[in-house]
Structure 1
Amino acid sequence: MLFQVGGQGTRPTFFEMSAAQQLPSSVRAALTYSLGVFALRRPFIHKILDYEDEFFALLMLVLETHSLRTTDASFSESLYGLRRRGAKIKLKKSNLLTNSADEVRHTGLRKRQKVLSVVFLVVLPYLKSKLQSTYNREREANLQASLWGDSDERFDGDFVTGDNNSFGSRDVSNIEASARDRCIKRVRKIVGACYPWLHAGNEGLSFAYQLLYLLDATGFYSLGLHALGIHVCRATGQELMDTSSRISKIRSRERERLRGSPWLKALQGGLLSCAYAVLDYAQTGLIAAVFFFKMMEWWYQSAEERMSAPTVYPPPPPPPPPKVAKEGIPLPPDRTLCPLCLQKRANPSVMAVSGFVFCYTCVFKYTNQYKRCPVTLMPASVDQIRRLFHDV
């Protein structure tokens, strides 16, 4: 399965390289989501999710090794019809002063470049993921310590009672455990202090290389490709045919190496055929998993949006009016009069605790003196007086 995005020449476009680089993360998200769904009915799958980094690294190790061995490309690059070529740069001495262009000659990948490619594609992302998880745990621990204090300080104390000899056999193990814990804490602190700078530097270099590649200022899309001296090029039709013939030769050679009795050879040949079928259809299966993941993500997201859509409810009924206290000031029959001065309200203001309206001067003096509402005798202060800009 190949996805040709377009473009002219053998140099891939920026969008092809970006899509090939982001494919492993999409595959990992799809596999994690699928395993999480299956784990709801099969709890033993949670053991795989507990070692998610190791499981995905092992899977990508198999796929990347097989892809580099057969197609001279990574797993994601082979999907887009791309191939890796060793770049040898030679300066043109004749035009060295007038023209600074370099002559780049592409060759096949050497064994060392394939091994280092696996390291850059599998080992380094695995280490980055583990450093990221360690940094997240250290940051959460620091946040918890800042809020609740250090757990060691909260649980310190002398809890040893009785005969001291009963604890003598545990002293050595406790010392070793405490030393190991101190070492782990020291490593986590170092990771917590250094990882943000390493991550920022890595992201900055990646952005710089991608920007230069987009502006056609360099032929290397990433620092890893530059360090290995590898260019990514489009595969021609002849190269695709050569790749298929190379794969058939490799597999026929591996079948010829089988040793043992006829039934053992048949069993080994069947296992090899099954392994070849899994590797051949792994690309299609993983792309189908990514498609399924995106479709389910869209489905559940749209369902959540429908469920979380705002529903228009009728306004609630107003609360019952507060009761007038027996010893409080009675309300006048005319609502436009102030209960305190029994005059037309001037600068009307409402008492927030009760909702009754008075003149501002009257209610301010009364509240400042008695610290309560004049009508309901509820406790109040002058800060709870609110100005009304429209008298009703």
Structure 2
Amino acid sequence: MAEHAAHLTTTSVSDERPSIFEVIAQDSLMSAVRPGLQHIAKILAESNPQRYGTLWRWFDEIYSLFDLLLQQHFLAKASASFSENFYSLKRVVLESHKSPHSLASTGLPKGHHWRSLLFLVLVPYLKVKLEKLVSRLREEDDYSIHLPASPWKKFYKAFLAAYPFVNMAWEGWFLSQQLRYILGKAQHHSPLLSMAGVQLVRLTSEDIQAMEQREASVAVSQQSAHSLNNKLRRAVKRALGSITLSFSTGLSVGVFFLQFLDWWYSSENQETIKARSTLPAPPPPIHFDQETYSPLLPKLKTVCPLCRKIRANDTALSTSGYVFCYRCAYYYVKHHQRCPVTGYPTELQHLVKLYSPEG
């Protein structure tokens, strides 16, 4: 960012206005971080379900807390989100854009600051939760989990029927705003920026110098403190500052690695890898004595390990291979996100219905 500031100027508003490629790139930066961290959490949960299973089950909430702390730090420090600051952008208040700009180091007004934080953290969290809810309801609707006379079933069907149109309207809203931004008809590329009352502009050389002077003045003021409380407070601030600096620097470097992970584990790339490296199926595992292998398994192979009754609508979990009643497996995986026998992280999409040949 310092190298970029060496040739920044404040000649005109059009020079400060970022291009559509810059704003789209910063939007996609944080969206690439989530899949990479989620894949890491999944690997940890599969390697040790007892220790890291909670991390996988509560990943959305843990990630949102991490995102909240990260965005709060950069909004207070540079008047920008992490991804915006990464691309040398800052947020300015719409009403004051025609007047001399305030420096990024001074931060946003309190109202604009909290609205920006709300739209940066809460909206993506709610969107992810809504997509998971729709996926779960479609799964229930496909396999008729709810009773035919259930009053909720009509509501679920109406919600599932309306969701594609609502989602299309939401995405169309963002697309139309981006087109207006490209044509110079709008000051911002995203409706969320408009609702927060801010717009994006490029950082100037004065912004960089002001942030460096601010850090230098904080260091000088810390050195002038002599009391025990001030020394302790200074040590804590210094430790937190070094942790934040190292974390943000490491995240800036690691985000490209996370983007690589996102591409590497994408469905298209995985299909290509499987097509080029297909190996013959390994032999089936050796059958152990069921009583010594796991106390959860019944003696009879036709009995469900959960309800201890003859299985109805046989369903296997692709993560472990064990077979249960569909209803038993569905509700257990829905509430615990793991296999009842092995404890491996499991989702509803891992349920595989089995059909025995007739006759």
- Give 1:33 shift: 1.9
Q: Secondary structure, in 3 states, of the residue corresponding to 2:276?
A: coil
Query: Counterparts of 2:42 and 2:3 in 1: how far apart (Å)?
Result: 29
Considering only aligned residues, what root-mean-square deviation do their CA atoms show, in Å?
Answer: 3.8
* Alignment partner of 1:58 out of 48, 65, 68: 65
Q: Establish whether residue 75 from structure 1 lines up as the match of residue 82 from structure 2.
A: yes
Q: Which amino acid aligns with 1:283?
A: S
Q: Compared with structure 1, are the counterparts of its residues 86 and 133 closer, same or farther at alpha carbon in structure 2 (3 Å cutoff)? A: same
Report matched runs for 1:1-392 at 5 Å. Answer: 9-43=15-49, 44-88=51-95, 104-105=98-99, 107-108=101-102, 109-145=108-144, 150-152=145-147, 191-192=159-160, 194-249=162-217, 262=228, 268-296=233-261, 305=272, 308-309=275-276
How far apart, CA to CA, are the structure 2 residues paired with 1:208 and 1:2?
A: 34
Distance in 2 (CA, whole Å) between partners of 1:303 and 1:141 is 28
Identity %: 28
Looking at structure 2, the residues matched to 182 and 269 of structure 1 have their Cα atoms a distance apart, in angstroms, of: 61
TM-score after normalising by structure 1: 0.57
Q: CA 1:20 to 1:297, structure 2 compared with 1: closer, same or farther past 3 Å?
A: closer
Unaligned runs of 5+ in 1: 90-102, 157-180, 312-392
The count of aligned residue pairs is: 264
The aligned residue for residue 341 of structure 1 is: none
- Could you say if the C-alpha distance between residues 257 and 200 of structure 1 is closer, same or farther in structure 2, counting changes exceeding 3 Å? farther
SS in 2 for 1:233: strand
Instruction: Tell me the secondary structure at the aligned position of residue 200 of structure 2.
Output: strand
C-alpha offsets along residues 53-106 of structure 1, whole Å, 9 cap, x if unaligned? 1111111110111111110111110001101111228xxxxxxxxxxxxx9446
- Over 3 Å counting, the alpha-carbon distance change for 1:26 and 1:310 in structure 2 is closer
Helix, strand or coil for the counterpart of 2:39? Answer: helix
Secondary structure of the 1:126 match is helix
CA distance 1:307–1:227, change in 2 (3 Å): closer
Structure 2 unaligned spans of 5+: 9-13, 103-107, 279-359
Q: Match of 2:30, as an amino acid?
A: P
Residues 86, 231 of structure 1: 8 Å contact kept: yes
Query: 1:307–1:190: structure 2 CA closer, same or farther, 3 Å change rule?
Result: closer
Larger Rg belongs to: 1
**Alpha-carbon distance between aligned partners in 1 of 2:238 and 2:34, rounded to the nearest angstrom:** 26
Report if the CA contact (8 A) 1:3-1:79 is conserved: no
* Secondary structure of the structure 2 residue equivalent to 1:133: helix
Provide the rounded CA distance (Å) in 2 between the counterparts of 1:257 and 1:144: 68
Decide which moves more: 265-274 or 71-80.
265-274
Shift of residue 308 of structure 1? 2.4
Asked whether the equivalents of residues 119 and 196 of structure 2 are also in contact (C-alpha less than 8 Å), the reply is no
Give 1:309 deviation, angstroms: 2.6
1:248, distance to aligned residue in structure 2 (A):
5.0
**Residues in 2 aligned to 1:86 and 1:223: alpha-carbon distance in whole angstroms:** 15
8 Å CA contact 1:72–1:84 kept in 2: the answer is yes
Query: In structure 2, do the counterparts of structure 1 residues 244 and 290 end up closer, same or farther at CA, with 3 Å as the change threshold?
Result: same
Structure 2 residue identity aligned to 1:112: G
Separation in structure 1 between the aligned mates of residue 224 and residue 161 of structure 2, nearest angstrom? 55
Give the superposition deviation at 1:203: 0.5
TM-aligned CA distance change 1:236 to 1:242, over 3 Å = same
TM-aligned CA deviation for residue 24 of structure 1: 0.9
Q: Deviation per CA, 1:261-290, whole angstroms, max 9, x where unpaired?
A: 83x765554433232122223333223333
Distance in 1, Cα, partners of 2:26 & 2:20: 10
Cα distance between partner residues in 2 of 1:13 and 1:243: 24
